[in-house]
Amino acid sequence: MTQSNKILLLLAVLGLSVMTISAQETGVVINGVTWATRNVDMPGTFADNPEDAGMFYQWNRNVGWSSTDPMVNSDGDATWDNSTPSGITWESENDPCPAGWRVPTHAELQVLFASDVTNTETTENGVNGRRFTDIANSTSIFLPAAGIRDYNHSGALDKNGINGYYWSSSVNGTGSAVFNLYFGGITVTPDNSQNRTNALCVRCVKESGVGIKEVSNDTETATPIGYYDISGNKLKEEPKQGFYIIRYDNGKTKKVMKSQE
């Protein structure tokens, strides 16, 4: 946690409230997705630096947990919450990302592992982590190996400085497992699963256009509410040809390639 947010957390412990203002974040584009360059710290704020761990979050919850000991959350409470978060996606009202940003989907995490993106183990100002770089434009993000807070051990800090765990908004099946990006040792994958009661880092993507959402099996019964080009720009009407995206009223999207009629 950054020094400024340690002060904010102290105020929360004392029962005082303040307005938080995060440093300006414009993000970088990697393979068509705009990523924040820093982790989420206190809810609604970014950490000061790319190598800062920020705070950990249980899935679909907007309460941060300290990434160093002693353990305390963003409400000033030091008692670990071992109840299981509910939901089938990370709901917008629980999203800890600053305004204009959101938790990435599983599909967006997978974008970082496309053939035109490299990832390398490295250090940033003495902090271990991994750098993901867009080959075409050389833009990159650094993800610190901040570790995790383990629900099996009452939120104990584990693997800090060794492994990295970053949430997606996408569940893996019908149980408590949720997709996350994981790196540690020789393993690097966007398809790892973690129990949603664990607390992990969050790296946001920009909420512009529609992003890359999961494609639902029930889009045929849903009603289209918007059409977008591949960059996420909203179109006035459905295109008659070419590649575009349909957004439905159930929150899902569908990629379409239409030939000229």
Q: Could you tell me the pLDDT band of residue 241, with boundaries at 50, 70 and 90?
A: confident
Q: Could you tell me the pLDDT band of residue 7, with boundaries at 50, 70 and 90?
A: very low
The reported pTM is 0.75
* Token pair of 61 as six digits: 């919850």
Task: Look at residue 201 and tell me whether its pLDDT is greater than 90.
Answer: yes
168-183 per-position pLDDT tens digit: 999 998 889 999 999 9
d(CA 65, CA 58): 8
104-123 per-position pLDDT tens digit: 999 999 999 999 999 999 99
Q: Which amino acid type is present at position 114?
A: A
Sequence-ordered alpha helix ranges (H) in 27-166: 106-111
- The C-alpha angle with vertex 241 and arms to 237 and 243, in degrees rounded to 5, equals 90
- Which pLDDT value is given to residue 93? 93
Alpha carbon 191 to its chain's center: 14
What average pLDDT is seen over the chain?
86
Q: What percent of the chain has pLDDT over 70?
A: 79
Coil/strand/helix, residue 203: coil
- Which pLDDT value is given to residue 170? 95
- Which pLDDT value is given to residue 82? 97
Q: Higher-confidence residue: 21 or 190?
A: 190
27-61 per-position pLDDT tens digit: 999 988 999 999 999 999 999 999 999 999 999 99
d(CA 151, CA 68): 16
- Which pLDDT value is given to residue 24? 79
Report, as an integer, the average pLDDT of 150-158: 97
Q: Could you tell me the pLDDT band of residue 11, with boundaries at 50, 70 and 90?
A: very low
d(CA 29, CA 139): 7
* Residue 132 and residue 118 in contact, taking contact as beta carbons nearer than 8 Å: yes
d(CA 219, CA 208): 22
- Which pLDDT value is given to residue 225? 75
Integer angstrom CA distances of residue 48 from 5, 14, 224: 9, 23, 40
* Token pair of 209 as six digits: 């256009």
Q: Could you tell me the pLDDT band of residue 205, with boundaries at 50, 70 and 90?
A: very high
d(CA 46, CA 203): 9
Segment holding 30, helix H or strand E: strand 28-30
